[in-house]
């Protein structure tokens, strides 16, 4: 049997060179599902994405999805992509298994927690307060540098990584950005950490607060301040009326992942990538 992808619409191309197209997954010419492909210029010209893959129930468990995903990689190579991304919710166990079997690596995961009725107490001697102007300037430079470095370590060219870090921070944060809490954590009046919290979810259609950045000063790591920063975030989110709080954590950051799990955060989306050779 021959599995092919048959376009269902013309190739869509945006001014920023983003491409997208939908296809039928066909076996010997018979439609058995659909797949949607796109590129994402935010992550460089070589970033492709499988945005959706559906195989009809009667045709599942026959390798259709595997062949369709491999065919999609060939299409993305034709679009000059050198990697492909895919996002999978935790309940889609078959899709998670398929991603691993096809050589995809987890890049990061989104996690969410339902907030408690009352704000959690911070440890004795520990407090939070808004950043000063000088603290904001220093934090912004450091935050952009760390974000660009993280993107570069995950395959994004350094120039593109820095451009994305600059653009994302410019779009999302500023000293007077509405719905944003920029704070510091202190212990006995000494600054030990920084917090960037959006009091509104950054993605359309989603609710709750979102933690963009927590950073413990290097000389104060291993003292439990990461947990205190998260408790500070929860308290500020509750004060703003949020019922849920979310975040994104990179897969290899095991200490952070374990901290979030211990605080009751649960994964709601896994993000995978694969280099296209």
Show me where the domains of the chain are located.
Answer: 3-81, 116-242
Q: How many CA atoms lie within 13 A of 249 on its CB side?
A: 21
Residue 67 contacts by C-beta under 8 Å, 6 or more apart in sequence? Answer: 3
Query: How do the pLDDT tens digits run along the chain, 277 residues long?
Result: 688 999 999 999 988 789 999 999 999 999 999 999 999 877 766 889 999 999 999 999 999 999 999 999 999 999 999 999 999 999 999 999 999 999 999 999 999 999 999 999 999 999 999 999 999 999 999 999 998 888 887 767 888 888 888 888 887 887 667 889 999 999 999 999 999 999 987 776 677 999 999 999 999 999 999 999 999 999 999 999 999 999 999 998 999 999 999 999 999 999 999 999 8
pTM > 0.75: yes
The CATH number fitting domain 116-242, selected from 3.40.50.2020, 3.40.630.30, 3.40.50.720, 3.40.50.360: 3.40.630.30
Partnered with residue 82 across adjacent β-strands are none
The percent helix, strand, coil of the chain (3-state, each to 5) is 35, 35, 30
- What is the CATH T-level fold of the domain 3-81, as seen in this structure? Aminopeptidase (3.40.630)
């Amino acid at each position: 049997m021959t599995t092919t992808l048959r376009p269902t619409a013309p190739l869509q191309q945006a001014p920023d060179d983003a491409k997208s197209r939908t296809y039928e997954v066909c076996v010997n010419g018979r439609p058995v599902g659909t797949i949607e492909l796109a590129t994402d210029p935010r992550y460089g010209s070589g970033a492709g994405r499988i945005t959706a893959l559906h195989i009809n129930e009667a045709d599942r468990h026959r390798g259709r999805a595997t062949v369709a995903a491999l065919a999609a990689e060939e299409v993305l190579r034709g679009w000059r992509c050198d990697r492909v991304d895919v996002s999978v919710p935790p309940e889609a166990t078959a899709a998670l298994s398929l991603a691993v079997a096809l050589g995809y690596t987890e890049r990061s995961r989104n996690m969410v927690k339902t907030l408690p009725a009352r704000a959690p107490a911070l440890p004795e001697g520990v407090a939070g307060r808004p950043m000063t102007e000088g603290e904001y300037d220093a934090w912004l430079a450091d935050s952009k540098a760390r974000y660009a470095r993280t993107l570069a370590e995950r395959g994004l060219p350094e120039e593109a990584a820095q451009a994305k870090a600059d653009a994302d921070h410019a779009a999302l944060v500023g000293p007077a950005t509405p719905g944003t809490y920029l704070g510091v954590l202190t212990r006995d009046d000494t600054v030990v950490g920084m917090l960037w919290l959006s009091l509104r979810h950054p993605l359309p259609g989603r609710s709750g607060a979102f933690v963009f950045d927590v950073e413990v000063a290097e000389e104060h790591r291993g003292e439990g301040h990461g947990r205190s920063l998260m408790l500070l975030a929860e308290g500020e989110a509750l004060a703003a009326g949020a019922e849920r709080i979310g975040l994104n954590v990179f897969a290899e950051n095991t200490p952070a992942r374990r901290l979030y799990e211990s605080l009751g955060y649960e994964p709601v989306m896994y993000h995978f990538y694969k280099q296209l050779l």
